[in-house]
């Protein structure tokens, strides 16, 4: 019997740039009434993820920063940072490659320049940001860094393959065709869900995991039932036990109906 659903947000339960569908809201309400925990597992920063949890009336832990932070009712349950040295090495790389970086320190989004990348990103997620030279930021609680290139997704593909050779001590993953994320190796969706599995005393077969992008491969690995969205990447579909319908066609709700109701 499934007792916990660990779900990605964007492209899984939320159509990009849209509102939640009635079907998704009804499905999540049904799960809550049945006592099944619905846990959001996302690359978003905690403040942005918490907005989604509030909109869905969820009172479960929220996993943000690809798994680098787990909070519940304001309490930090699990957290993994990048070291100052690691953050500075990534910043140096970004400058060399002339690629924009978002820096997240203590759940504050920083950009060292005012540019399309950060304004477009913040507007889509309905969050604030601070413009400040990275050299002036303490970098003592760096949750992650995010490289953004809206115009050349092929560069993101290239860096995803090449950068683990340069940064073997980091977790590097593509979360959208335009986003490449850098975080602590213990700050993955897998690590966070496994922490919650132990926290709640659950068995593998009591957890269903579902997502749509390459950063959800680690999420799917943590579940007893692994579901990929119909709009998922080929890599994620290959890691799944089952492929449901697309996010536009309420694939999340259809997967829940198949495996739970």
Q: What is the pLDDT of residues 121-153, one digit of tens each?
A: 999 888 999 999 999 999 999 999 999 999 999
Determine contact, residues 147/99, Cβ cutoff 8 Å.
Answer: yes
Out of 137, 158, 183, pick the residue that ends a domain: 183
Q: How far apart are CA 145 and CA 143, in angstroms?
A: 7
Residues 32 and 63 in one domain: yes
Check if the beta carbon of residue 21 is closer than 8 Å to that of residue 248.
Answer: no
Do residue 70 and residue 115 come from a single domain? Answer: no
61 & 42 share domain: yes
Q: Same domain, yes or no, for 68 and 148?
A: no
Compute the distance between CA of residue 190 and CA of residue 37 in angstroms, rounded to an integer. Answer: 17
| Domain housing 226 | 4-79+187-259
Same domain? For 70 and 93 the reply is no
Say whether both 127 and 90 belong to one domain: yes
Q: Identify whether residues 88 and 45 lie together within a single domain.
A: no
Number of domains in the chain: 2
CATH number at residue 88: 3.30.1240.10
Asked if residue 108 and residue 71 are part of one domain, the reply reads no
68 and 24 inside one domain? yes
| pLDDT in 10s for each residue of the chain, 261 residues | 999 999 999 999 999 888 999 999 999 999 999 999 999 999 999 999 999 999 999 999 999 999 999 999 999 999 999 999 999 999 999 999 999 999 999 999 999 999 999 999 999 888 999 999 999 999 999 999 999 999 999 999 999 999 999 999 999 999 999 999 999 999 999 999 999 999 999 999 999 999 999 999 999 999 999 999 999 999 999 999 999 999 999 999 999 999 998
Using the 3D structure, point to which of 156, 183, 210 is the last residue of a domain. Answer: 183
| Residue ending a domain, choose from 159, 183, 207 | 183
């Amino acid at each position: 019997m499934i007792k916990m659903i660990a779900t990605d947000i964007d492209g899984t339960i939320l159509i990009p740039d849209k509102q939640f569908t009635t079907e998704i809201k009804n499905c999540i309400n049904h799960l809550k009434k049945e006592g099944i925990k619905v846990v959001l597992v996302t690359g978003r920063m905690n403040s942005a993820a918490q907005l989604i949890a509030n909109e869905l009336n969820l009172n479960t832990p929220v996993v943000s920063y690809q798994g680098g932070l787990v909070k519940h009712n304001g309490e930090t349950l699990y957290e993994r940072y990048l070291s100052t040295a690691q953050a500075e090495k990534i910043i140096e790389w970004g400058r060399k490659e002339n690629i924009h970086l978002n820096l997240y320190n203590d759940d504050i989004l920083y950009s060292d320049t005012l540019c399309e990348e950060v304004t477009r990103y913040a507007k889509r997620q309905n969050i604030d940001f601070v413009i400040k030279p990275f050299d002036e930021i303490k970098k003592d609680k760096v949750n992650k860094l995010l490289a953004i290139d809206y115009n050349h997704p092929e560069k993101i593909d290239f860096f995803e393959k090449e950068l683990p050779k340069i940064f073997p001590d980091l977790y590097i993953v593509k979360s959208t065709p335009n986003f490449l994320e850098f975080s602590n190796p213990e700050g993955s969706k897998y690590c966070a869900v496994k922490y919650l599995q132990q926290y709640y005393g659950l068995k593998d077969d009591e957890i269903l995991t579902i997502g749509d992008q390459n950063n959800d491969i680690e999420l799917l690995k943590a579940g007893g039932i692994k579901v990929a969205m119909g709009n998922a990447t080929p890599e994620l579909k290959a890691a799944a036990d089952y492929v449901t319908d697309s996010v536009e066609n309420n694939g999340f709700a259809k997967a829940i109906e198949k495996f739970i109701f």
